[in-house]
């Protein structure tokens, strides 16, 4: 629902700050006062093209902003989240600026936005019916969605789209296989050879670390043997070995204990050292016995290490990555094998097509039933809107090829008179007829229409009297489900409104400006009396205006 509309320096509007409520609102005023400017400003802030000519004379730029109450509009909330344009909870603020150079800037919830995004957001927020760009009923997609919503087929349409995507995905997979079978075979052969080559290394991370340790030991076996022998001689086997000298020291000190018992502390320290040296000698001797200069095993180890490094250089990987790479190649081979059966791929495609067709045919049946009902109800509504004898048709044209939205294209057609053949809604020439027809459709489908704010311009073109009163009642009824706004010259329509705004034009010092005032009960009587009686307002016209307002209030209750 539209909460506020702020306009600055737009055409003849210097500054306006309007707050709106729910229900049915009308804008009235003298011809040329600027009533349509309000609708044009709303269309502009929702993405309609504009240039510098819309800027008020003498101003540097025009600025329009509109705040909407999101209420329970989950579709718009999801769209804002997807576009990263989420704002304050429960509201959506759109803003448009046009400068003197004709450049335009747009914002949604304070973030810069493109005109395409502004228009897309506007499609969730407002439908403007009349000679404006926001006429969703002229778009084939909107007609189809309206029929589906009217019939309660939104879920079926969603399932149909999902099944169509699955069918197309499987079809593309099968076609890609047929087109690229030679390349797939080549890839499979290459992967099989690569996996075989790496698997021949029998590589494991633990085995690799063990091999590197063995290779290092074999490469330095002579040095290791020499070092072990040197240690044995230094510790125990040489003429002046450490162990021999330590034993000599211990023997001398033990012999001197009878002269000084304090030497025992030193002996206690030295004796464990002797034991540790002896253990080291045993370990060194055991280590030396295991060492062996084995040129054959060294060559084998070197060959194994070289084979691993060669493979890693070839595939530009580290040795530790070999198990991961082999697993990835095996997984890819499994994918190729799974998708490599053309008959299996064709069966999967056929199954997906059959599932889509079953759902699409069910959707078509529901659409046919709903199309008949919608056509009859809208045609009945036309008879009361100065379109007597008019016919509305909801036509389902079978498509040459199935599509994501189903097996048919939905098209609204209308004949304003019995003598005329029904034509596509988009070709209806009269703005008034189109607006009243939109009113009939919106009234019939008001239970399911998803756009919260409906704006009608020229809805009273070419009508009056009883028809005008019917139009007013229909708009008021529509206002029970939506926020409805209407520009009108007819007192019967204005009297049916829940709230009324008067648009007036003022001229001061050669400057023309437009102002908009919300009318109270007494002011509404005066304005409707003006609409009834013209320039001179009499007590009779005022009485008639008051009776019209009272009658409208009784009907609404």
List the Cα angle 325/330/332 in 5-degree steps: 95
- The answer to whether residues 214 and 134 belong to one domain is no
* Same domain flag for 285 and 367: no
pLDDT for position 134: 42
pLDDT for residue 132: 45
Percentage of the chain beyond pLDDT 90 is 25
In a shared domain, residues 515 and 369: yes
Residue 65 shares a structural domain with residue 36? yes
Q: What is the pLDDT of residues 376-390, one digit of tens each?
A: 999 988 888 777 888
The mean pLDDT of the chain is 84
Position with higher pLDDT, 476 vs 356:
356
Q: Are residues 9 and 103 in the same domain?
A: yes
Same structural domain, 40 and 154: yes
For residue range 27-40, what is the model confidence (pLDDT) as tens digits? 988 877 778 888 88
Write the secondary structure of 385-421 as one string of H (helix), E (strand) and C (coil): CCCCCCEEEEEEEEEEEEECCEEEEEEEEEECCCCCC
- Measured CA to CA, the distance from residue 434 to residue 29 in angstroms comes to 23
In a domain, 255, yes or no: yes
Q: Is residue 177 part of a domain?
A: no
pLDDT digits (tens, 9 = 90+) for 125-149: 888 876 444 456 778 888 898 899 8
pLDDT band at 352 (very low <50, low <70, confident <90, very high): very high
In a domain, 111, yes or no: yes
In terms of domains, do 433 and 366 share one? yes
The reply to whether 375 falls in a domain is yes
Strand ordering across the sheet containing 406-415: 391-403, 406-415, 423-424
Number of domains in the chain: 3
Q: DSSP assignment of 261-322, as one string?
A: TTHHHHHHHHHHHHHHHHHHHHHHHHHHHH----HHHHHHHHHHHHHHHHHHHHHT--GGGH
Q: What CATH number is given to the structural domain containing 14? A: 3.40.50.300
Give domain status of residue 437, yes or no: yes
Encode 419-463 in three state secondary structure.
CCCCEEHHHCCCHHHHHHHHHHHHHHCCCCCCCCEEEECCCCCCC
500-534 tens-digit pLDDT: 999 888 877 667 788 888 899 899 998 999 888 76
Residue 202 DSSP symbol: T
Which structural domain, as residue segments, surrounds residue 465? 2-160+354-519
The pLDDT score that the predictor gives to residue 133 is: 40
300 shares its domain with 378: no
Tell me if 174 is assigned to some domain: no
Give me the pLDDT at residue 162, please.
95
Residues 6+ apart with CB under 8 A from 41: 5, 7, 10, 13, 64
pLDDT in tens, 416-468: 777 788 888 877 645 666 767 777 887 787 666 678 888 887 666 667 777 88
* pLDDT tens digit sequence for 284-338: 777 666 666 566 767 787 888 888 889 889 888 888 888 899 998 988 888 777 6
Q: Is residue 92 domain-shared with residue 236, that is, in the same domain?
A: no
Secondary structure letter of residue 236 according to DSSP = I
Residue 98 counted as domain residue: yes
Residues 438 and 537 in one domain: no
Q: Tell me, yes or no, whether 189 lies in a domain.
A: no
> Residue 55: which region, alpha, beta or left (left: phi > 0; alpha: psi -120 to 50)?
beta
Of 280, 303, 338, which closes a domain? 338
Q: Which residues contact 160 (CB under 8 A, 6 or more apart)?
A: 356, 359, 360, 363, 404, 405, 406
| 461 plus 474 within the same structural domain | yes
Bridge-partner residues for 513, per DSSP?
A: 506
My answer on whether 330 and 384 are in the same domain is no
């Amino acid at each position: 629902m539209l909460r506020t509309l702020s306009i600055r320096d737009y055409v003849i509007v210097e500054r306006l700050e309007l707050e709106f409520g729910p229900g049915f609102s009308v804008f009235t005023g003298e011809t040329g006062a600027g009533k349509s400017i309000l609708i044009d400003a709303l269309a502009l802030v929702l993405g309609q093209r504009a240039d510098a000519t819309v800027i008020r004379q003498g101003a540097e730029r025009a600025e329009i902003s509109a705040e909407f109450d999101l209420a329970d509009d989950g579709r718009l909330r999801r769209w804002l989240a997807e576009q990263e344009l989420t704002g304050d909870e429960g509201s959506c603020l759109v803003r448009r600026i046009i400068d003197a150079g004709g450049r335009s800037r747009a914002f949604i919830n304070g973030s810069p936005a493109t005109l395409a995004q502004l228009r897309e957001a506007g499609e969730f927020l407002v439908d403007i019916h009349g000679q404006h760009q926001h006429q969703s009923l002229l778009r084939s997609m909107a007609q189809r969605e309206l029929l589906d919503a009217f019939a309660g087929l939104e879920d079926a349409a969603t399932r149909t789209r999902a099944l169509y995507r699955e069918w197309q995905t499987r079809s593309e997979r099968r076609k890609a296989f047929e087109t690229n079978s030679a390349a797939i075979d080549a890839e499979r052969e290459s992967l099989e050879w690569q996996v075989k080559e790496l698997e021949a290394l029998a590589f494991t991370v633990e085995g690799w670390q063990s091999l590197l340790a063995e290779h290092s030991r074999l490469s330095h076996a002579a040095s290791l043997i020499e070092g072990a022998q040197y240690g044995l001689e230094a510790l125990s086997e040489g003429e002046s070995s450490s162990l021999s000298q330590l034993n000599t020291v211990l023997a001398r000190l033990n012999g001197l204990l009878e002269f000084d018992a304090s030497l025992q502390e030193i002996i206690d320290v030295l004796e464990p050292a002797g034991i540790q040296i002896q253990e080291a000698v045993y370990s060194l001797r055991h280590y030396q016995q295991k060492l062996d200069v084995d040129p054959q095993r060294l060559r084998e180890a070197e060959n194994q290490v070289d084979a691993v490094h060669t493979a890693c250089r070839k595939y530009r990987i580290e040795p530790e990555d070999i198990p991961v790479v082999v697993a990835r190649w095996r997984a890819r081979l499994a994918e190729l094998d799974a998708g490599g059966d053309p008959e299996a791929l064709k069966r999967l495609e056929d199954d997906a097509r059959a599932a889509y067709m079953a759902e699409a045919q069910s959707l078509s049946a529901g659409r046919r039933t709903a199309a008949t009902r919608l056509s009859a109800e809208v045609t009945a509504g036309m008879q009361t809107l100065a379109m007597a004898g008019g016919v509305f048709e909801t036509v389902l044209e079978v498509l040459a090829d199935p599509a994501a939205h189903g097996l048919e294209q939905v098209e609204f057609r209308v004949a304003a008179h019995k003598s005329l053949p029904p034509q596509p809604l988009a070709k209806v020439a009269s703005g008034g007829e189109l607006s009243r027809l939109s009113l009939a459709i919106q009234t019939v489908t008001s239970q399911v229409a998803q756009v919260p704010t409906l704006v009608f311009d020229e809805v009273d073109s070419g009508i009056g009297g009883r028809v005008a009163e019917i139009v007013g009642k229909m708009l008021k009824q529509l206002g029970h489900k939506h926020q409805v706004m209407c520009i009108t010259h007819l007192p019967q329509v204005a009297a049916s409104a829940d709230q009324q705004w008067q648009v007036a034009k003022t001229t001061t010092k050669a400057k023309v400006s437009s102002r908009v005032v919300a009318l109270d009960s007494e002011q509404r009587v005066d304005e409707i009396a003006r609409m009834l009686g013209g320039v001179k307002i009499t007590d009779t016209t005022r009485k008639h205006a008051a009776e019209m307002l009272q009658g409208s209030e009784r009907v609404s209750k």
